[in-house]
Amino acid sequence: DSGVTQTPKHLITATGQRVTLRCSPRSGDLSVYWYQQSLDQGLQFLIQYYNGEERAKGNILERFSAQQFPDLHSELNLSSLELGDSALYFCASSVGSGAPNEQFFGPGTRLTVL
Amino acid sequence: GQQLNQSPQSMFIQEGEDVSMNCTSSSIFNTWLWYKQDPGEGPVLLIALYKAGELTSNGRLTAQFGITRKDSFLNISASIPSDVGIYFCAGQQPNFNKFYFGSGTKLNVKP
């Protein structure tokens, strides 16, 4: 158990819909990262927040957005969902923002768009 | 975007054999991390490397941060069936916050 929690574990929805994925970092970690992993693919970095502020952006679509709240939990919002958005979405957390930096991953949310 | 080349893509080995995999980049990294992922689970951190030339072990696993800072290696000795999974490398460039992940090495171990 990494200490990072994600809810829900599974999510099934229809195209065009909007969903919210939630992540709680490990106690004491200030950074939260979001990743997308499509079937049999590697991890694609989406976005990072540090202590409530956006710190780095990866290949995140404009239909996706995220935020980190004062209690440091984070939410990833996915809207106008398409079939291709079906994937595992992982959240990771780390103590700081820059190097050295060890990221610990949550169990993931499996999103299925029908 | 930044590319990490991880090889091999997959490996089929016999229990007890040693395994080697590596990641290379065209850019310099100041951090290398190695993760293992089981199906449907989140990646689990195995080893973290922060200094060029650093050699770090975690049980039967040994990883090295390449001298050029553009590569890293992971070795698994005396493999066992529970080593089965996908191994990912991840690198972080100086002055950047995001990590880049390799495409993974799928390891299969025959008892």
pLDDT digits (tens, 9 = 90+) for B22-50: 999 988 998 999 999 998 889 999 999 99
- Chain A residue with CA closest to B96: the answer is A98
**pLDDT in the model for residue B97:** 66
Task: List the single residue in A41, A42, A98 with the smallest CB-CB distance to B97.
Answer: A98
Interchain contact, B104 vs A42, CB within 8 Å: yes
User: Is the minimum CB–CB distance between A38 and chain B shorter than 8 Å?
Assistant: no
User: Is the minimum CB–CB distance between B91 and chain A shorter than 8 Å?
Assistant: no
Q: How far apart are CA B88 and CA B86, in angstroms?
A: 7
Express as a percent the part of chain B with pLDDT over 90: 79
Q: How far apart are CA A47 and CA A45, in angstroms?
A: 6
- Chain A residue with CA closest to B6: the answer is A42
Give the position of tokens 């951190």: B45
